[in-house]
Structure 1
Amino acid sequence: MHRLVAVLSAILLLAGCAGADLAKQKFPRTTIPANAEKVSDPTGTTRTTPAPDGEPVEPAFASDKMRLIDPCELLDEEVLKQFGTPGDQSRSGYARCSNFMKDKAGKDLAVTVETGQTMTSELKNADKQIAGLRSHEQTLENSACFVSVITQDKPGLGITVQIGYEDGDACTPGRVVAESVVKRIREDPPTREPVKGSLITLDPCALPDQAAIDTAVGADRRVYPYGLHNCSWVGDDRELTLDFRATFVPRDRDFDDKQTEVDLGGGVTGYQVDSVTAFPSCEVKWVQLVGDENKGEVVEVKSAGPKESQFDRCATAVAFAKGLVGKIPKA
């Protein structure tokens, strides 16, 4: 089990059933030329016209809808039982859920689903289909398979099902679970009701004022959304990142030994950490919500740039954070 978890975690940092029973199952595959841009409709047919920039391949996969999907509810227990005995669910962040189960022979089988993932190489190399959507498969050390389904072209977004299975065909259950996930989102999406003040519905690329972004990185910059809750703006010699996170919140708010407190206005205290590396940065974070067992939501702003770029990274991060605080709903 520990090795499986370590293998899956390693790939996430770089990106994102008995054998006999699995072998009997057949999965139709459609090969799509790598140089053809295609999207799919709910009927399962493949069209050659890509979705417009910022639009999903189907309305069900729109970003505002996907932010509210409960990933743990996507892991259908009846589907998992085809491959063994489901275990307890483990939620991570807004969009990821795992089930560390046992196959029919009692061996470890880890199943993880993550929604709203940024797709780059997966988009380029998607040469298969699952439930009518383009898909891509990647294996790792013969013990893990990552089945990614494309839900948006520009920027590339999708859903990934990760299977950790050292002693069997990991991609076979991955395809079954991925198909089940796609169908559930289309037909009966399990949505969450956000609590007051939650960050979950906010688009980090759209929320800040353009003037604030200009001040932080310059008017001539490029925007890079990452997933559904992270956005970066990159200028000629500096960059800025905004991240909304569902995470553990320490009772004493001691996120880092080097942090210092800063007043962000509106009664909000920020926690600033200056990092001197080959690519110096300054991060300012503050707590938006705290729930049971110290689970909460945090906003993180980071200003960074190469050493030769002479600007005050902490002043940049703090100024941007101050402008953002008033735009985020209060809890």
Structure 2
Amino acid sequence: MFLDARRRRLPKLFLLVIALALPLTACGQDLGRSNFGRTTVPAAAGGTGQQTDGPITDAAVAANALRVIKPCQFLTKDALGALGLGTVEEDPSPSSIAFDTCSNKVKDPGGKEIRFEVKVGSTLLPRADKTTGQVGGLPLRVDKSDDTDCLAAAMTALNPDLALAVTVAYPGEPCRPAQTLLEAAVQKVHNSPEKYSTPAGTLLTADPCAMADTATVTAAVPSAKSAPSGLHSCEWKSNGSDPTITVKFLPGLPPIVGGGYSKVDIGGGVTAYQKQPTTSSSRCVVEWQHRPWQGDDVELAQVDYSSYAAEASSDDPCGKAVTVAKNVVGKLPKP
């Protein structure tokens, strides 16, 4: 789950799915043996959080505030070093395909590696029954999938769920460093967090769920219902299932013709690139450059249509994706 190979031309099309359906043992007060001090995340009475359903009204963790927060600030040498978890040898590694994800690693005093990933606005989260208390006034969910992997999440929104999430891989007691880092991150979010610059027209501040008209999406996805799939991604599903339209904003290199991608005009003088993967399902991705980002990278907008129940030959996935893309491009903030 920590791999983030540099995408040289086109964004990855699939999110990594974290298997949380199996019965799991949540981390409680007894976190076992470790080589560093115990975290001080408080537990609510009875072992459940004081708030397990919405709304969360903390302005510091509202979606508009979180969209511009830099995720790597929580994983710098100074930030990790202050937690007393061990030795930090490297600078953090920002994701090359997401604005909101960063990773780094620490060697504990015994020489074992602790691998961290922070995601601001995660939707791949522990279930509500994994709520174990609060962190910084936010509901805390903790899920230990096995002896080496743990996911700790400070819920920033409920129904639909979003969170500031820390994933740890550690051949010790992974929930302890996960909760330790999460507590520090939540404190930082409430106390002058570092933010991206937001030049005119940036997609960083755009709400992807507001970037497509319901009528346009419904033509491709009947009875469409939208829900955020991250701070920079939104899904419309037909009756909560299939087919699906996803609107996503992400960093990446400018798209080009090749690898099955071809040019398509989406209006407003914008050239996009479309690809219909050669799979048994009906799917098409349309993406285009919006504005410069950092270095060689640009801000990309992407529309992804998929239906696993339909045949591509009769479904016209690219026709549907392009129609939505033409709607989205006209609603994006202007550079």
TM-score when scaled to structure 1? Answer: 0.81
The corresponding residue for 1:304 is 306
The corresponding residue for 2:148 is 143
Answer yes or no: is the 8 Å Cα contact 1:264–1:325 preserved in 2.
yes
Answer yes or no: is the 8 Å Cα contact 1:249–1:290 preserved in 2.
no
Q: Structure 1 residues 311, 128: CA separation in 2 closer, same or farther (over 3 Å shift)? A: same
Aligned with 2:142: secondary structure? strand
Q: Distance between the aligned counterparts of 1:66 and 1:28, measured in 2? A: 22
Q: Distance between the aligned counterparts of 2:182 and 2:209, measured in 1? A: 28
Quick one: which of 122, 126, 129 aligns to 2:134?
129
TM-superposed CA distance for 1:164, in Å, is 2.2
The corresponding residue for 2:266 is 264
Answer yes or no: is the 8 Å Cα contact 2:35–2:109 preserved in 1.
no
Aligned with 2:209: secondary structure? coil
Which amino acid is 1:98 matched to?
A: S
2:17 paired with 1:51: no
Which amino acid is 1:59 matched to?
A: A
Q: Distance between the aligned counterparts of 2:71 and 2:127, measured in 1? A: 20
**1:139-164 deviations in whole A, cap 9, x for unaligned?**
34422221111121121111111222
Quick one: which of 29, 40, 52 aligns to 1:27?
40
Matches within 5 A, 1:60-79: 60-75=60-75, 77-79=77-79
2:183 paired with 1:179: yes
Matches within 5 A, 1:193-208: 193-208=197-212
The corresponding residue for 2:217 is 213
Aligned with 1:283: secondary structure? strand
TM-superposed CA distance for 1:104, in Å, is 2.8
The corresponding residue for 2:291 is 289
The corresponding residue for 2:80 is 80
TM-superposed CA distance for 1:27, in Å, is 3.3
Q: Distance between the aligned counterparts of 2:118 and 2:206, measured in 1? A: 22
The range that moved more, 182-191 or 283-292, is 283-292
The corresponding residue for 2:322 is 318
The corresponding residue for 1:160 is 165
Count of residues paired in the alignment: 303
Q: Structure 1 residues 38, 206: CA separation in 2 closer, same or farther (over 3 Å shift)? A: farther
**1:206-255 deviations in whole A, cap 9, x for unaligned?**
1222322232223x222222111111112266331111112x315xx347
Answer yes or no: is the 8 Å Cα contact 1:122–1:148 preserved in 2.
no
TM-superposed CA distance for 1:32, in Å, is 6.1
Answer yes or no: is the 8 Å Cα contact 1:51–1:152 preserved in 2.
yes
Q: CA RMSD in A?
A: 2.8
TM-superposed CA distance for 1:321, in Å, is 0.9
2:119 paired with 1:117: no
Aligned with 2:276: secondary structure? strand
Answer yes or no: is the 8 Å Cα contact 2:126–2:142 preserved in 1.
no
**1:63-87 deviations in whole A, cap 9, x for unaligned?**
0000011111233644522112222
TM-superposed CA distance for 1:21, in Å, is 4.1
Which amino acid is 1:229 matched to?
A: H
TM-score when scaled to structure 2? Answer: 0.80
**1:65-120 deviations in whole A, cap 9, x for unaligned?**
00011111233644522112222111112111112232234432222211111155
Aligned with 2:190: secondary structure? helix
Which amino acid is 1:281 matched to?
A: R
Q: Share of identical aligned residues, percent?
A: 30
Q: Distance between the aligned counterparts of 2:286 and 2:110, measured in 1? A: 49
Gaps of 5+ in 2: 5-14, 20-32
TM-superposed CA distance for 1:169, in Å, is 2.1
Q: Distance between the aligned counterparts of 1:127 and 1:119, measured in 2? A: 17
